[in-house]
Amino acid sequence: MTKLQCADRVLDLSRVQVMGILNVTPDSFSDGGNLYQASRLSVDKALVHAANMVADGASMIDVGGESTRPGASPVGVQEELDRVIPVVERIKAELDTLISVDTSAPEVMIESAKAGAGLINDVRSLARDGAMEAAASTGLPVCIMHMQGATPATMQLAPHYEDVLAEVCDFLAQRADQCVAAGIPRERIVVDPGFGFGKTLEHNLTLLRRMDELEALGMPILVGTSRKTMVGQALGREVGDRLAGSLATVALAIERGGRIIRVHDVAATADVVRMTEAVLYGAGQERV
Ligand code: 9MG
């Protein structure tokens, strides 16, 4: 469980690793117009942002061409390929880092793997037709995430749980079994409770408070709380003012077993990771 083989790279999970978020959607790196085009300029900008995150301490970059915000509409496969693949290729060619691809589309999984990605991050847990088989065929590790409600567009309509921890845990255990049956080795599966995906504030806070219960699954845990609505709701802060709240969740998540932390603010998070690890395991020590 401490090493994750990601194509030609090995991710050492005896230390907590920071995943930097690289959104390549029209509102992020577009250089004009309504449709994102993978123009030279926008790919250059994405590369610079990725390079800065690596310099700040990210050990992997999560490239995503579809917005998964509540209410967001899905993107067509060709458009997603056009957004994601040129960026994956540039990062692979120019940066010494692991590339993760945030996608639910089988075609994007396969083309990203060919372009040099080392990890598949699917908020829909490989539920789309052909996604499980496509992910298995790449040989890459996968991150499967819990979401209540079928899609980001509908997930926040009426979230309901009897016991959010038990239900998230059961879902991830079953999904992991399905992945294994489809040919994805258990050692290549990362699990994620899916903060903000079909959950109220109270569900999210409970999930974080009791996140150590997910460790029983025996798979590395990825955590994504960065700038999310749960932080905004708890603090009454707009999205641009959620850094301190997000960092608090990072420290708590690491203490409860989080191994990969998916964030926008890499430099501040990297400090919190190092400080939290120093308190938990001693300076220079690692988790056993
Ligand atoms: C793409 N994306 C947005 N939020 C996320 C989260 O919390 N976890 C993972 N794995 N991916 C996410």
Confidence category of residue 34, pLDDT binned at 50, 70, 90:
very low
Q: Which active-site residues does the annotation give?
A: 228, 262
> Residues 52-83, buried b or exposed e (16+ Cβ, 10 A)?
ebbebbbbbbbbbbbbbebeeeebeeeebbbb
Residue 37: its pLDDT value, please? 55
The tens digit of pLDDT for each residue in 8-19 reads: 999 999 999 999
More confident residue, 153 or 217: 217
Ligand 1 center from residue 72 Cα (angstroms)? 14
Residue 143 CA, closest ligand 1 atom number: 10
**Mean pLDDT across 19-23:** 98
The tens digit of pLDDT for each residue in 168-191 reads: 999 999 999 999 999 999 999 999
CA-CA distances (angstroms) from residue 182 to 118, 166, 186, 195? 19, 24, 11, 26
Residue 157: its pLDDT value, please? 76
| Range 225-229, long-range pairs (CB < 8 A, 24+ positions) | 225/195, 225/196, 225/249, 225/250, 225/253, 226/21, 226/262, 226/263, 226/264, 226/265, 226/269, 227/264, 227/265, 228/195, 228/196, 228/204, 229/70, 229/196, 229/201
Confidence category of residue 32, pLDDT binned at 50, 70, 90:
very low
Q: Where are the beta strands (DSSP E) in 30-112?
A: 60-64, 98-102
Ligand 1 center from residue 224 Cα (angstroms)? 5
Residue 38: its pLDDT value, please? 64
Is 121 touching ligand 1 by the criterion CB < 6 Å?
yes
Ligand 1 center from residue 16 Cα (angstroms)? 17
Query: Is the pLDDT score of 151 beyond 80?
Result: no
**Mean pLDDT across 149-154:** 73
Query: Is the pLDDT score of 283 beyond 90?
Result: no
Residue 73: its pLDDT value, please? 75
* pTM recorded for the entire structure: 0.94
Which residue among 67, 121, 168, 229 is best mutated to probe the pocket of ligand 1, counting the most ligand atoms within 8 A of its Cβ?
121
CA-CA distances (angstroms) from residue 54 to 236, 258, 265? 31, 20, 11
Is 119 touching ligand 1 by the criterion CB < 6 Å?
no
CA-CA distances (angstroms) from residue 60 to 73, 93, 102, 260? 26, 14, 12, 10
The tens digit of pLDDT for each residue in 219-261 reads: 999 999 999 999 999 999 999 999 999 999 999 999 999 999 9
